[in-house]
Amino acid sequence: MLVDGPHQHGEQAEEGEHGESGSEPAKHDGCGGNKLAVLMKAIVIREHGGIETLDPTEVPDPELRPGEAVVRVRAVALNHLDLWVRRGVPGHKFPLPIIPGSEVAGVIEAVAENDRGWKTGDEVLVAPGYSCGLCVACLPGNDPLCPASGIFGETRDGGCAEKIAVPIRNLLRKPSALSFAEAAALPLDMLTAWHMLVARAELRPGETVLVHAGGSGVGSAAIQIAKLWGATIFATAGSAEKAARAKELGAAETILYRETDFLAEVRRLTGKRGVDIVVEHVGADTFDRSLKSLARGGRLVTCGATTGAEATINIRLVFFKLLSILGSTMGSLAELHEIMKHVEAGRLRPVVDRVLPIEQIAEGHRVLESREAFGKVVLEA
């Protein structure tokens, strides 16, 4: 998802509204008045800019609050969201200073005794999005529509630190077959792709799906999920090597978008019919052709706009072909629990491009910006 673009909850964060978590982002100006604070290492973004704004520093340990646990971070995965939080987005205010990092796996360091079955030492995965869990949006599973929703590393402190405080309801058991790095690589992209395909586009068995950038975090998750649903998948890729890996994940056909126009190729592959669903997260460069790639009754579902957010569409095409254009961001906690069942069974798996020590976060950002990775870039503590 989050392949891109900031979320609107930023505004709420500005107003100091943090839902259940109730936690104001800590202001990382050293110990302030509290001379007894225990310090931990963390990456703090104090102002937007280049890679040099990723400031390795020391900040006070997170506090254990009621209804929350403190997790010792073992791995944190990078997302395009990290790039937006670092660079800033015109017209959008992030709550700086902030510790970035949305996807965390680690070990419970502190929790109220046996709070809802959790105890110190449990290995966990942290759901990247939080919300109140009690409102008219949360109860039916529309968590991202909750007025108090947010994402770690975007609207409150994230996991690029030794420890992070998270609501208990955000804890999931780390599958024992996965390393911490693999677990951290899972939640955000899987959840984003799941919500796009299953909840929004209502993918049905036997349909045809075009997945853009099959080597990206969302792309590699979308291929696996569409495969699980028995779909026929076409994936675009930037290189022959990435195309081969997309096929390993389940793509029936791959399209090298730098060499071939994907719209012409979709028409050729489908005998001019088009695909039922396009998983869009590229934006300006592809949106118009993505819409034209759809069969009658097709659905374009978008979660990002890494190449730009403005596009021109032919409205006539939309109504004549009964097309749907669907927006999607994140997903619900319930969906993440459902995804984890498939992960435990080995039907969905994290795709990790590389694991770097957290001290090399700048290199991680460079790899993400260069688009050379297939799957996730993960930082390990």
Residues in contact with Zn ion by CB under 5 A are 131-132, 135, 138, 146
Residues 6+ apart with CB under 8 A from 112: 64, 66
Supply the minimum distance, in Å, between the C-beta of residue 133 and Zn ion.
Answer: 6
1, 303 Cβ separation under 8 angstroms: yes
With CA atoms as reference, report the closest residue to 86 among 103, 99, 105, 75: 99
Supply the minimum distance, in Å, between the C-beta of residue 21 and Zn ion.
Answer: 12
Phi, psi angles (nearest 5°) of residue 171: -85, 135
Rounded Cα distance, 51 and 364, in Å: 10
The encoded tokens of residue 157 equal 């402190």
The encoded tokens of residue 146 equal 């909750």
Checking DSSP bridges between strand 39-45 and strand 54-60, what pairing results, if any? antiparallel
Q: Which is nearer to Zn ion, 68 or 253 (CB)?
A: 68
Q: Which is nearer to Zn ion, 132 or 275 (CB)?
A: 132
Supply the minimum distance, in Å, between the C-beta of residue 257 and Zn ion.
Answer: 39
Supply the minimum distance, in Å, between the C-beta of residue 373 and Zn ion.
Answer: 34
Q: Which is nearer to Zn ion, 142 or 307 (CB)?
A: 142
Q: Which is nearer to Zn ion, 138 or 352 (CB)?
A: 138
Residue nearest to Zn ion (CB): 146
Supply the minimum distance, in Å, between the C-beta of residue 132 and Zn ion.
Answer: 3
Rounded to whole angstroms, what are the CA distances from 319 to 204, 315, 316, 325? 22, 7, 5, 11
Q: Which is nearer to Zn ion, 15 or 113 (CB)?
A: 15
